[in-house]
Structure 1
């Protein structure tokens, strides 16, 4: 499926490409495939490319002297994308989460706000297979699509100054995991012991845009065991290859 894209200058050395303002998995795959084609076809001229839910920023090595000509080239690359029927392979990561009250510091307030039991929040949060749209805000912070609409809730009016590392939270129509201690305005409903960013590893984040993620519930004891296994470097994160 071809989308109607807009192309805008973004300073002297970059072009911003935008898709319709929606969050959809097939649109994300379109963004990521276009990104891959540009990086391979214009590798000598493109310094870097950055993708988000429905946008792609192309940063060139030098100044973009002729914007219109460059846009025509990008459009021609996008046209080759539309004829591709190649299946996309990604990895499904299975993430343990403890929803115990000692971690789920906002779950009761959230339950009262959306008028369902806390147990139902856990059920609805662990049912979907989420898609990793991009990584941002903090190193290793995964922006995920696929949250059940029942769990959509506005972010906190007053963000916390300190959210614990591994906090699993909901904000708006998104869910995510804080990879390190930081301020945050999302509603914390649990905690994962997994390391989402390690600067000493290559790549430092195990997941990438286009991957999938599934949460599963663990109790406090298992959360502690996994934390110790990670410290001892004996824990192996469960995952599998999937074709989209």
Structure 2
């Protein structure tokens, strides 16, 4: 049974923006993902873009906005199969060595929590991927423990390295490319989060989950070499 009443807006000449209640909510993102799966079966759909509380549909041809909305409403209202939808939980290796965790000690000090406890709190959850954005392959994750919420830096760095794992406010994430950035950096992952040479450049998608796994420097370097050689296999589990 659907519990929301999405709104529909024209978005350019060949796209429709669908919006849910304006808040970060796991039930909302799961509803969006479920609706997207129905929409993807339409051959006239070019692609879809998910955000926290919206879904943008780009059509090959959009002749009549009102007719398209009627069809979308009917599709949304269709009863879902009462089956448990499996989710992938991606196992993301992260090295929290202070060489990479540039802001770990500052977070530890400001929160009066030992560095090891900051790491434990960061690796404990299975984070929900709400959507990908900001940069290609950047995962917006929900589920960060409130004990390590940390405001963005007042002076952003001009260069944050690819793979840097950061905390920005109530969120955590990984920089998929070198970039300027204002998040608090607590570690680094040796894997690629976006690879244009692959059919699916980003391995993960909205609705999947992420579990960070702490690794030491030796393992980091080993994985980094395997990634460079193209032999590293990212692990995941079904739940």
The partner residue of 1:72 within 70, 73, 76 is 70
**How far apart, CA to CA, are the structure 1 residues paired with 2:63 and 2:104?**
49
**How far apart, CA to CA, are the structure 1 residues paired with 2:63 and 2:196?**
33
SS at match of 1:140: coil
**How far apart, CA to CA, are the structure 2 residues paired with 1:84 and 1:30?**
13
Following TM superposition, the consecutive aligned residue runs of length 4 or more in structure 1 with deviations greater than 3 angstroms are 62-65
Q: CA RMSD in A?
A: 1.7
The partner residue of 2:83 within 83, 86, 89 is 86
**How far apart, CA to CA, are the structure 2 residues paired with 1:202 and 1:83?**
30
Per-residue CA shift, 1:96-128, capped at 9, x if unaligned? 111111100011122233332222211110000
Contact persistence 1:14–1:64 (CA under 8 A): no
For normalisation by structure 1, the TM-score amounts to 0.90
Query: 1:58 matched to which residue of 2?
Result: 57
**How far apart, CA to CA, are the structure 2 residues paired with 1:31 and 1:91?**
17
Query: 1:43 matched to which residue of 2?
Result: 43
**How far apart, CA to CA, are the structure 2 residues paired with 1:236 and 1:73?**
41
Q: How far did 1:64 drift?
A: 5.0
Structure 1 gaps, min length 5: none
Query: 1:217 matched to which residue of 2?
Result: 214
**How far apart, CA to CA, are the structure 1 residues paired with 2:147 and 2:133?**
25
Query: 2:237 matched to which residue of 1?
Result: 240
The partner residue of 1:174 within 153, 171, 174 is 171
**How far apart, CA to CA, are the structure 1 residues paired with 2:62 and 2:28?**
29
For normalisation by structure 2, the TM-score amounts to 0.92
Where do 1:110-125 residues align within 5 Å?
Answer: 110-125=107-122
Structure 2 gaps, min length 5: none
Contact persistence 1:139–1:179 (CA under 8 A): yes
**How far apart, CA to CA, are the structure 1 residues paired with 2:83 and 2:154?**
44
Where do 1:134-173 residues align within 5 Å?
Answer: 134-173=131-170
SS at match of 2:39: helix
SS at match of 1:226: helix
